[in-house]
Amino acid sequence: MKKVLISVYDKDGIDKFARKLVENDYEVVSSGGTAKLLKEKGLDIKAVSEITGVEEMLGGRVKTLHPKIFGGILARKEDKKELEKLKISFFDMVICNLYPFEDVIENPDATMADAIENIDIGGVALLRAAAKNFERVIIVSDISDYDWLIERIEKGGLSYKERLSLAKKAFLYTSKYDSAITNFFSQRCDEDEKFPLNILISLKKDSDLRYGENPHQSASLYLEVSSNNNIQFEKHQGKELSFNNFIDIESVFNIVNSFKKPVSVIIKHTNPCGIGKGKDTVEAYERALSTDPMSAFGGIVGFNRTVTKETAALIIKSFKEVIVAPSFDKSALDIFKQKKNLRVVKIEKTGSLKLDYRRTFAGWLVQEKDKHEVNEKEWEFVSNIKPTEEELNALRFAWKVVGFVKSNAIVITDDVKTLGIGAGQMSRIDAAELAVKKAKQANLEVKGAVLASDGFFPFRDSIDFAAKKRIKAVIEPGGSRRDNEVIEAANEKDIILVFSHRRHFRH
């Protein structure tokens, strides 16, 4: 008679699965709470202690850790005579899942004692032993596998590939479990370090994408296993999201959620081509669109408020790739259905990630996320002329926006919308010239507007250029060896100049 060992924390569906195994000539061996449950459900099972001759000890910490259990799991067919000599029986299947360590540590009130008590030892050993011997032993670590396993068993058994797949799943399970423990201990050990000394990241493929950045490149989407770093989203309609869509949606999400008031952004190739604030999504979108309607064609549009039918009606007047918002009115979704390929994606704000990761040839670069906060306590008003409250509002808006534009970056704004954006230029003056050119293309007036730069001015040329275009205020980080020359130029041209003392490069 075949023998199955069952030791599970998550007992959902285990009685039904065990009953089916009994019907297929399996003898059930179990312990602890699992054994109690199966007996209550009327199953005739054998206790682990009946095999080992040792009762559970240490409050249940030691149950299955015994040669008569692990010998029966790890033994190969050729070890049969040795097992008979030792009076050990083969185990043909192991069903095991682990204490909920990751769930426990997600509770902010969890103590170290709580965490330690939920570190599974015997279960991990069972999983690894059975997975190592997968050619003979079926290892079941996922309750979602119960139904199809019964079907395969009733049809004659599992193939080699199916057994291997179950073993891979078990090793993945223990790997990410150990990663969660290691990361938790690292946080506690390295709490005096800004960054932990070790970071373990476990990834699981979610889906294949149509292609990567370009059609000749393959690509897939992976999720972090057992992590709250994966922000949930819902696609209401449209084509599958592409590699580039995900990158652009990330930019949209970060921008709109940095504002408290209603805001809309239109993204092309991770750069905003327009950002607008308003009393509602209609006004915010119209202002965002006005910056660069030509570049907005085929863009990704984002909001930090519910999209209404009035806003949806405006959006579909021109081609857009993706619409992103925390929610949509039903009437808005009905309007979007007129454009069947338009992707409509719901992403609710669920907090922000603390660390930013980037892989390079030299290894992984890890940094704190740029929060794009406007910290006026750091600002220094270095020109003779000081800003009015209206001008301050425009400077606040411009300074927040410029941090989301690829370096070298210059943005020109009023207090509610972008007027011109110069992104990704090799020199700062080129970025300034591009920003003015973009404003001119959209028939927007930069006279009396404000200008923000993500990095300091190495020369006075950008101030001279701003004065020529009759821009009235400039904000930049400061910190150049020629800061005095820049300040002199601002005073000479009657321009308000503010040093933010914070840089916002974006590569």
The set of catalytic residues is 132, 269
- 217 phi and psi angles, rounded to 5 deg: -110, 130
Looking at residue 33, its amino acid is: G
Query: What's the Cα-to-Cα distance from 113 to each of 77, 101, 116, 119, 226, rounded to whole Å?
Result: 42, 12, 5, 10, 21
282 three-class SS: helix
| Two tokens, residue 323 | 């619409």
Alpha helices in 5-100 (DSSP H): 14-23, 32-40, 48-52, 67-74, 80-86
Residue position matching structure tokens 């079907």: 151
**How would DSSP label each residue in 109-157?**
T--HHHHHHT--SHHHHHHHHHHHTTTT-EEE--GGGHHHHHHHHHTT-
CA angle 50, 51, 57 (to 5 degrees): 70
| Two tokens, residue 353 | 């990630």
Q: Which of 451, 456, 370 is nearest to 408 (CA)?
A: 456
- Cis peptide bond prior to 408, omega within 30° of 0: yes
Separation of alpha carbons 399 and 411, rounded Å: 8
CA angle 326, 400, 322 (to 5 degrees): 35
229 three-class SS: coil
Radius of gyration of the chain (CA): 31
| Two tokens, residue 267 | 């993204």
Strand partners, 277: 263
